Amino acid sequence: MTRKEFRNLIDRGPVLLDGCITAGSDIQQCPEKWMLEHFDTVASMQSDFKNAGSTILRSPTAGANRYRLEKSGLGSETVQINRELMRRSRAGLENTTVLGTCSSIGLKIEPFGDLEFEEAVKCFSEQGRALAEGGADGFFIDGMTDIQEARAAVIALRDISGLPVMVCMSLESQGCTSGGTDPLSALITLQSLGADAVGFGTIDPNVSLEEIIKSIKRFAKVPLFALPCTSDKSPEEFGSLGSILVSAGANLLGCGDTATALHIKSLGAGIRSVPAQPPAISSISALSSSRRTIMPGRNHPFAVVGERINPTGKKQLQATLREGSLDMVRQFAIEQELRRASVLDVNMGLSGIDEKAMMLRAISLLSGITPVPLCIDTTRPEIMEAALRLYPGRALVNSVSGEKERIEYTLPSAARYGAMFIVLPLTDAGIPRTVKERIEVINTIMQAADPFGVTVDDIVVDGLVMTVSSDPNAASDSLDLISWCSDTLRSNTICGLSNVSFGMPERPWINAAFLGMAMGRGLTMAIANPSSDGIMATVQAYNALRGYDTEMLAQRGRFTGVQS
């Protein structure tokens, strides 16, 4: 099954998954080994689910990754067990879509645990290849509680085939995963990375999947699915959930391992007359961490990208980085978060250190201590790719220019990992002098990005602010470019705010004045120092005037510089 065929299947109407097939809790040996030896029982259950109305069925291989099989001394049989369970499932379910199932390794993955990220990717690649060899029509990544593990699985399965990939996150009592990832952040991260459908399951009857699906539907560019808790519900009671969830926006429905074919049949009966709601968008401007999502744009709060985690001109930070210490990186991150930075720029470009190793260490640290999404800032494509691969969210890339190396290497990496990226309108020949020439560079970059599926929602154009001390027209040119991007291209825009006042007196006032002018022209983001009261007061006042800063409105206009 191709990804397009999968999408066409979903768009035709609500689709039913099967129930989870397991060996049962009383089985003493490896469940997957037992199912191989008693496959007639498995086949009978699969047939029951198919006859009950399941359009998509899953192989009984959820726990058959190498790490789990090694606990039973069967790690060396990983490929054989997955391939054979998949082959037998495929053979017994003709004319039915059968997905190869993967699930948790059972270990925490960096940056949230000790297992190296690439080892997790390798594990899912091994299982995925075996399932593909067994005839899988696609993949179902089940019961994930760690967004980083879900990312590792998606990356592995995307790398080995062009088959569709569904991901199900398991939610606990607070409506988040045990790792603290909320449904919206999971959706933004996984759909950007290449998941073909994203869903949520729970064993807690108090978690409302209806409300969750309803709240994130408008941000979903892929189908959504729900695996509600059976919680001792009768088939009739369970079936009543179907129309509720489809009306909320779910495109696929399934159930957990306590459900029977009767539950599926009842679920199907409940959705026959409910119209489907295919995804309403094909792209979205959004950045995520493992615990937060921000959406830049004219219809959202203005976003400040904190600039302080950058060694340029900071002798003390340079010294600590050369000592191998990230103490100041930690300090700057916390300070900028408290000062309401929406995104944190991370730059480790410094002579005398291993920039790649330090960048990865910084990402691991920051992913654990702050929920603020990151902007990966490096001129080296190999470092950019390594950082995007590790980062447990949807990052912002700084930047893709019209320079040959950035087009050939940085652009494909940004697209592969689903990042948003800053478009910098300069070329190998330098900075274009006129606004018209800068627009031509932007159009060239967008043409190069189009084959990768990049849309205008995936970019943020840099206004390329130059200093007015050397060119009196520099600010006007940048403002005109920002206007064109906002009114014609309809893109997000950003600028390095402090550049405009370089070499001038009273720089804070100049920066704040330019910021207000640029906001009026459509600027949606700025790379700036959140410690500047002038800048942050301007941002907070702007957000209050547009109705986004309820705290300042509640304070009747008082500037509240520190995040409460």
The residues, ordered by sequence, that sit 6+ positions from 197 with a Cβ below 8 Å of its Cβ are 6, 10, 164, 166, 167, 222, 223, 224, 225, 251, 252
Predicted TM-score of the model (pTM): 0.96
Burial class (CB in 10 A: 0-12, 13-18, 19+), 381: middle
The residues, ordered by sequence, that sit 6+ positions from 168 with a Cβ below 8 Å of its Cβ are 140, 141, 142, 143, 144, 198, 199, 200, 201, 225, 227
Alpha helices, DSSP H, located in 60-182: 66-70, 78-92, 117-133, 147-160
Interval 112-137 mean pLDDT: 97
Interval 66-74 mean pLDDT: 95
Q: Residues 190, 223: contact at Cβ < 8 Å?
A: no
- The backbone torsions φ and ψ at residue 314, rounded to the nearest 5 degrees and listed phi first, read -120, 90
Q: In the prediction, which pLDDT does 28 show?
A: 67
Q: In the prediction, which pLDDT does 246 show?
A: 95
Cα–Cα distances in angstroms (integers) from residue 502 to residues 161, 470, 521, 529, in the given order:
50, 9, 22, 14
pLDDT band per the 50, 70, 90 thresholds, residue 293: very high
Average pLDDT, the chain: 94
Interval 208-230 mean pLDDT: 95
More confident residue, 224 or 95: 224
Determine the Cα–Cα distance for residues 450 and 427; give it in Å rounded to an integer.
Answer: 19
pLDDT at 288 over 80: yes
* Nearest in space to 541 (alpha carbons), one of 522, 559, 564, 520: 559
Q: Residues 392, 367: contact at Cβ < 8 Å?
A: yes
Determine the Cα–Cα distance for residues 445 and 407; give it in Å rounded to an integer.
Answer: 7
Pair of tokens at residue 555: 């304070």
Q: In the prediction, which pLDDT does 26 show?
A: 62
Q: In the prediction, which pLDDT does 204 show?
A: 87
pLDDT band per the 50, 70, 90 thresholds, residue 347: very high
pLDDT at 98 over 70: yes
Interval 228-233 mean pLDDT: 81
Span 419-444, pLDDT tens digits? 999 999 999 999 999 999 999 999 99
pLDDT band per the 50, 70, 90 thresholds, residue 259: confident
Span 46-68, pLDDT tens digits? 999 999 999 999 999 999 999 99
Fill in the amino acid letter for 35. Answer: M
Q: In the prediction, which pLDDT does 556 show?
A: 65
Span 375-410, pLDDT tens digits? 999 999 999 999 999 999 999 999 999 999 999 999
Q: Which residue has the tokens 């699969």?
A: 46
Determine the Cα–Cα distance for residues 283 and 418; give it in Å rounded to an integer.
Answer: 11
Pair of tokens at residue 357: 């190793």
In DSSP terms, 141 is beta-bridged to 102, 167
% of the chain residues with pLDDT over 90: 86
Four-residue CA torsion sign, 329, 335, 336, 338: positive
In DSSP terms, 144 is beta-bridged to 169
The residues, ordered by sequence, that sit 6+ positions from 104 with a Cβ below 8 Å of its Cβ are 143, 144, 145, 146, 149
pLDDT at 257 over 80: no
Q: How many separate helices (H) and strands (E) can be counted in the chain?
A: 23, 18
Determine the Cα–Cα distance for residues 442 and 485; give it in Å rounded to an integer.
Answer: 10
Interval 88-109 mean pLDDT: 95
Determine the Cα–Cα distance for residues 65 and 371; give it in Å rounded to an integer.
Answer: 30
Give the Cβ contact number of residue 358 at 10 Å: 21
Q: In the prediction, which pLDDT does 205 show?
A: 85
The residues, ordered by sequence, that sit 6+ positions from 27 with a Cβ below 8 Å of its Cβ are 34
Question: What three-state secondary structure class fits 168?
Answer: strand
Q: State the DSSP code for 7.
A: H
Per-residue buried b or exposed e for 449-477, using 16+ beta carbons within 10 Å of the residue's own CB: beeeebebbbbbbbbbbbebeeeeebbeb
Pair of tokens at residue 257: 């391992």
For helices 327-338 and 315-322, what crossing angle results, to 10°? 130
pLDDT at 563 over 80: no
Determine the Cα–Cα distance for residues 196 and 6; give it in Å rounded to an integer.
Answer: 8
Per-residue buried b or exposed e for 212-251, using 16+ beta carbons within 10 Å of the residue's own CB: bbbbbbebbbbbbbbbbbbeebebeebbebbbbbbebbbb
pLDDT band per the 50, 70, 90 thresholds, residue 276: confident
Q: In the prediction, which pLDDT does 553 show?
A: 65
Span 26-49, pLDDT tens digits? 676 788 999 999 999 999 999 999
- The backbone torsions φ and ψ at residue 166, rounded to the nearest 5 degrees and listed phi first, read -105, 145
Q: Residues 396, 305: contact at Cβ < 8 Å?
A: yes
User: What domains, with CATH codes, occur in the chain?
Assistant: 3-22+30-269 (3.20.20.330), 296-554 (3.20.20.20)
Q: Which residue has the tokens 């993967």?
A: 102
Span 499-536, pLDDT tens digits? 999 999 988 899 999 999 999 999 999 999 999 999 99
Q: In the prediction, which pLDDT does 47 show?
A: 95
pLDDT at 557 over 80: no
